[in-house]
Amino acid sequence: PDNLTTWKMRAWAVSDGARVGEGTAEIVTTKKLLVRLQTPRFLVQKDEAVLSANVHNYFSSRKDVRVSLALEGDTLEVVEGGDRTVSIPPRGEARVDWRVRALRPGPTTARAKAVTDEESDAVEIRFPARVHGMTKIESFGGSLRPEATSSSWTFRVPAERRPEATRLEIRVSPSLALAMVDALPYLADYPYGCTEQTLNRFLPTVITQGVLRRLGISLAAVREKRTNLNAQEAGDPARRARRWGGEEEPFRNPVFDEKKVADMATTGLKRLIAMQLSDGGWGWFSGSREESSPHTTAVVVDGLLTARAAGLKVPADVLDRGLDWLARHQSGEVERLRRGDAKKSDGKEAADELDALVHRILVDAGRESTVVRGYLWRDRLKLSLYGQGLLGRALQRAGRTDESAQLRRHLAQYVVRDDENETAHLRLDNANYWWRWYGSETETHAAVLRFFLAVDPRDPVIPRLVKYLLNNRRHGTYWNSTRDTALIVESFAEVLAATGEGRPDYTLTVDVDGRTVKTVVVNTDNLFAFDNRVVLLGEDLTAGTHRVTLRKAGRGALYWNASLENFTMEDPLTRAGLEIKVDRSYYKLLDTGDTDNAVDARGGAVRQRVDKKKRVPLANGEEIKTGDVVLVEMSVESKNDYEYILVEDRKPAGFEPVALRSGESDGPYMELRDERVGFFFRALGRGRVSVSYELRAETPGRFSALPARALGMYAPELAANSDEFKTRVGD
């Protein structure tokens, strides 16, 4: 037999009648000389590791054993150690070590032999050496305001790389807000029809149609859309165009025909009119048992006012009845507030977000209540940021510019700017009401964006908020729901109308190291069709530092993003990331030796050791010992809310995870592989989160832990990596 194991044999005998027999025997297959080879599962190029042969002598006498190691191929070289003769006592063992270095990537076979004057043994193990390198994606971004004419930035191409894998892609856009057209198919084809969804099935399309008409662009022209105006998104533009046109994996059912849009708006308006209740308000649905809801009525009336402003013929009596209902509701709330002032038990202590919404709509309709304005101003600091944004717009519309400017300055303290990716977001405190309509993060940003826009269309924070909202489209082309998607489309339409961003007329020149690589004219005639990408491949990019200059001659803004992809083999490999970042730390775990009070089996008090570990940070290159346990912690910083994120750690060779099985953990799903450990996040919110796992050092040597990575599994432009970590393991 080839296997050293226990063999069990069974035999049966059957004769005539009832005569049967059975026999069982066990035979142990052994060797009196046995060699075992200890190797890591893999190595990384430039690693050094100790390969060990453990030789067992099961003879009854001492044996002189000749031990040798042979390496197939040119992947590894022996840097220390050679053939040795060891004297092993009876039933004893000895260890022979060889230090090897990984010269280049590829498979290798290590074969250990042990030879005596009686018996011999050999064993071979095949394992790979991996390249000391990785695909590294560096991201850059910026913008040119209308008054600016040029922008420059530099990047570095490493000398140690695979030149054929180098790729630089620059994407430009004259308007991020115009990327709102991506959401129209979702809204137009939403399968349900409550009151809000009936409204938002057609209203954003009507608004966008009006915006495009003012820009001199027809919906039919958008059908041929080839240019993704969200410069932050990568991907194949040809495939995107096929999907947009319905030829391949269509987004949904986009509506481009102006007559069809008009028919859709007329049908939706008729249905909304039919859903209006006898008292003039609207409920979630319609029917004899439905009751008018203040919020739903406010949403519908606001939408009808917007539709009328966009040119839709809204029956005056329908709108007036809805406004009358809101006015009656507002009067009732004023009475409750007055009873609250009088300390009545059925009174209302403070004006709330619904009061702010109704007030803003009535102000837009020319029905301002100064009493309500006074209550809202008094209680403004009790409102959420959503409510303050609504109040601010109403104040600005009513000509109360001093109060609106004061509220704008107050809201400035909640604006968090990120100069690295030129975004801004609001620091929200909505933990106690996140499920309510005014607790929506996206709707809050849209409301505050519209307020800031009303105060000053040139406010530099406006394009930053637009970019942040685009970054946080949960589903690629739309946000969380029909309601917030429609509100954001409306806010983007207002940005275009107020800033003129949708009317670019300039010539863009892209220079790399002083050499012009692209010149393109951008105007309303080709807004959705111009080639907005510059791609340079390995042969165009030599090693060293390069400068990109974007020059704009004409009217309009410019937004740009770039990604540089290299298969780099630098030593050490360094971190990269923009929208998402990952850092990795190593800690040696030490038993604290702490004890705690416990109860023994007889009920007596005893002191008992507790399993408590102390974390000691490990510096890059610091030495530890075999058997030591280290904690690997990865900290991920995300600038936006993302879904389906993989955080992957590349283990150093010679280490094994303490955990034995993949599966669900306290946090994300963890998957253990020979060379890496992956953590899968279904959702990753903005901010910082950390994951960790434990490794045990098992093989002496010098090892490189290639950078940990964070990847968007379905978004290729989302990538980050940590620094490389080097460690030494001694006996």
pLDDT digits 0-9 by tens, 586-638: 999 998 777 778 887 778 888 777 777 899 999 999 999 999 999 999 999 99
How far from the centroid of its chain's Cα atoms is residue 237's Cα? 22
Q: Where in the chain is the domain with CATH 2.60.120.260?
A: 151-174+505-566
Low-confidence ranges of the chain (pLDDT < 70): 1-2, 183-193, 218-227, 231-257, 430-431, 474-478
- Is there a contact between 96 and 117 (Cβ–Cβ < 8 Å)? no
Greatest Cα pair distance in the chain: 113
Report the amino acid identity of residue 197. Q
User: For the domain 151-174+505-566, what is the CATH code?
Assistant: 2.60.120.260
* DSSP type of residue 437: G
Q: What is the pLDDT of residue 598?
A: 81
Cα 523 from Cα 555, distance rounded (Å): 9
Q: Is the peptide bond before 572 cis (omega within 30 degrees of 0)?
A: yes
The torsion angle over the Cα atoms of residues 647, 653, 658 and 663, rounded to 10 degrees, is: 40
- The CATH fold of domain 33-130: Immunoglobulin-like (2.60.40)
DSSP sequence for 43-98? EETT-EEEEEEEEEE-SSS-EEEEEEEEEESSSEEEEE---EEEEE-TTEEEEEEE
Class of domain 572-730: mainly beta
Cα 694 from Cα 56, distance rounded (Å): 32
- Is there a contact between 53 and 121 (Cβ–Cβ < 8 Å)? no
* DSSP type of residue 194: -
Q: What is the pLDDT of residue 726?
A: 98
Q: CA-CA distances (angstroms) from residue 380 to 11, 336, 390, 393, 406? A: 92, 17, 11, 13, 11
Alpha helices in 129-257 (DSSP H): 184-188, 195-214, 219-223, 237-244
Cα 141 from Cα 259, distance rounded (Å): 40
Question: What tokens were used for 575?
Answer: 């971190």
Q: Where in the chain is the domain with CATH 2.60.40.10?
A: 33-130
Q: Where in the chain is the domain with CATH 2.60.40.690?
A: 572-730
Question: What tokens were used for 133?
Answer: 């390198």
Cα 198 from Cα 172, distance rounded (Å): 35
Q: What is the pLDDT of residue 609?
A: 75
Cα 273 from Cα 388, distance rounded (Å): 31
Q: What is the pLDDT of residue 418?
A: 93
Residues contacting 611, CB < 8 A, separation 6+: 591
Q: What is the pLDDT of residue 246?
A: 45
